[in-house]
Amino acid sequence: MSALAQQQQQSHHQNHSSLPKSTTLFIGSISGGITDAFLNQLLGACGPISSFKRLITPANKPQGFGFAEFQDPDGALRAMSLLNGVELPALEDGCVNKKLLVKADEKTKTLLDAYASQKMKTDAEEETLRQSQARVAAILADINKRSQEAANNGMLDKEKYVIPPHLHDLQEADLPETQRGLVMTEIAQFRERAAKREREKMRDVREAVPVLAPSGPKQREWGKPQAGSATSQPPSQGFGNGAQGYSKPVGFVKAEESKGPFGEERITPSGKVKTDEELEAERKEARKRDEENSYRDRERRYEPRERARIQALERSLARERALKEAEERDRVEMRSRLDVWDDDESDEMFYTDRARWRVMRARRLQAEEAADQDSRVYEERELDNLRRESEAFLARQMDEMHALQDEQRKAGMLLDDGAPVKLNVSLAPTNPKDGGMEKATAVFTHDEEEEDGIRKRRAPMPTLDLAEGGEKAKERLEKIKGSVPTDKDVLFKAKVRWDGLTDTMIDRKLEPLVKRLMVQYLGELEDDDLVMFVLEHLKDHKGPSKLVEGLQPVLEEEASELAVSLWRQVIFESMAYGEGLHTERMMVDS
């Protein structure tokens, strides 16, 4: 037994050494108004944390997700057990309460599961877990109390979710006549996509419904006790039926074997089986969250257009205001000048010496008339030169044509009267009485043979292969794809044709690429805030260095790799647009 305990302790020590020194968890679905200080306090109640990073929107507002780095895996396990699914109150108007999401990526989750399954529970750890539960309960009670007091004092509206006025349903008569069809089409497409997502979700739910195993006898699996063997099977020889007996194999149970026959989604973190009502409530909550995300997505797409329209209106108003101010300044200046104007005291020659003014005016008129005459003479001289050059060119062309006709006449291609010889090409008809097919021969005749009434059969026109242009375009695109730089410095200095990267192309082509890269570096994403941050960065025509700085707090060293992969596609689209080619669905790193 002492050897077995030593072996368990050694395996536990090896598993603990395989884990990294710090464990990073994803903290999502943070309610509005929750500060970083409160989250540090709440996460610190589960275990010591090294840092908590949270992205900031361009409007200097914290995002609804972040990343917490725990100093040891025990604190991360306690946080996933105690804080996942905890509802936090919203501390801002227009926000709803959200259930906190605490999870790890696939690699970290696998290591934590292996660590938890091989770890031996002690009384000290049980006491630490109870203390963490008490601290978490006290912190949640305090924040709920403050939220309720703010709602009672009228500082917070918790009755309903405030929908912005520009998101209310509009009647068809309320829409502008020029944009009515476009808006109604967008609304119909949005509802169709929502219905499609709902159908896919219901299909996934039906597929996830557990299928009960038959009640009959089943084949026993190695390493698992057979059902009913505790009462019907007699005790075997050895040390007995205890934990160290031969009748029960000694070994550690893997994490996935303890899920039970109800499926993973029916097992709560505490080990209880969820009821159908709880599962339906979770599905409704997920559906509500998807609808909220879709509303937020529509709002994000709507705000840039309205912002651009407001900026254009402000610019036009500013121009009108500047024009009116300039006219007012000129009016005031002219009025002040005319108020103090005196013809007798003026120093202008028109008023002081009228005779001299007339003489100078006559001289100016003579100089202008002389300049006009010189211009007319120069223009006539230029027209004469052009006429002579045209006549000389036509004469050269006539000489060349006569020389060509003489050459053709000597070669027998022209008749005596100068008309070209007309040749007819025809296929001799085959004799239907002959048994075999005869080879057609070409017959060359003159115009006199057309008067004989013989019908000629014309050769069919050759068909053109128009697919050559598409193959050439693909070859050019492959050549451009191979010329996209891979070096970070050269890539970031390349010129981007932003007129070729429209918002529609960014949403349809670059958004799936950004989501795939985020899943590759962060695992499964619950919120699209980080993806929307990257897309807004591209729509604002910002450079790659700013993108790396924005992603550095979340992705750290991998932010530069993600920016390089995304910017290669951006440069590829720009180069193809400059060549006048359409890339369709072609990707650089495919």
The DSSP bridge pattern shows strands 23-28 and 101-103 to be antiparallel
2-165 folds as: Alpha-Beta Plaits (3.30.70)
pLDDT over 90, % of the chain: 14
Residue 326: is its pLDDT beyond 90? yes
Dump pLDDT digits (tens) for 483-512. 888 888 888 888 888 888 888 888 888 888
Q: Secondary structure of the chain: what % helix, strand, coil (to 5)?
A: 60, 5, 35
Tell me which architecture the domain covering 468-578 has in CATH.
Up-down Bundle (1.20)
Q: Kindly report, residue by residue over 161-206, the tens digit of the pLDDT.
A: 445 555 555 565 566 666 666 777 778 778 778 888 888 888 888 7
Residue 579 φ/ψ, nearest 5 degrees: -85, -5
CA distance 128 to 77: 12
460, 454 contact by CB (below 8 A): no
pLDDT in tens, 120-157: 788 888 888 888 889 999 999 998 888 888 877 767 65
Report whether pLDDT(298) > 70: yes
Report d(CA 574, CA 501) in Å as an integer: 7
Q: What is the pLDDT of residues 218-257, one digit of tens each?
A: 444 444 454 444 444 444 444 444 444 444 454 544 444 4
Segments making up each domain of the chain, as ranges: 2-165, 273-340, 364-411, 422-460, 468-578
Maximum average pLDDT range among 63-72, 320-329, 525-534 = 320-329
Q: How far is CA 421 from CA 60, 404, 412, 442, 451, in A?
A: 85, 15, 9, 18, 16
Residue 286's pLDDT is: 92
Q: CA-to-CA distance for 45 and 78, rounded, in angstroms?
A: 9
In terms of pLDDT, which residue wins out, 465 or 207? Answer: 207
Check residue 324 and give its pLDDT: 94
pLDDT at 320: 94
**Separation CA 335–CA 84 (nearest Å):** 77
Q: What is the percentage of the chain residues whose pLDDT exceeds 70?
A: 69
* pTM tops 0.85, yes or no: no
Question: What's the pLDDT score for residue 414?
Answer: 65
pLDDT over threshold 80, residue 266: no
Residue 433 has pLDDT above 70, yes or no: no
Q: Are 542 and 570 in contact (CB under 8 A)?
A: no
pLDDT above 90: residue 65: no
Residue 80 has pLDDT above 70, yes or no: yes
- Dihedral (CA of 161, 162, 164, 170) sign: positive
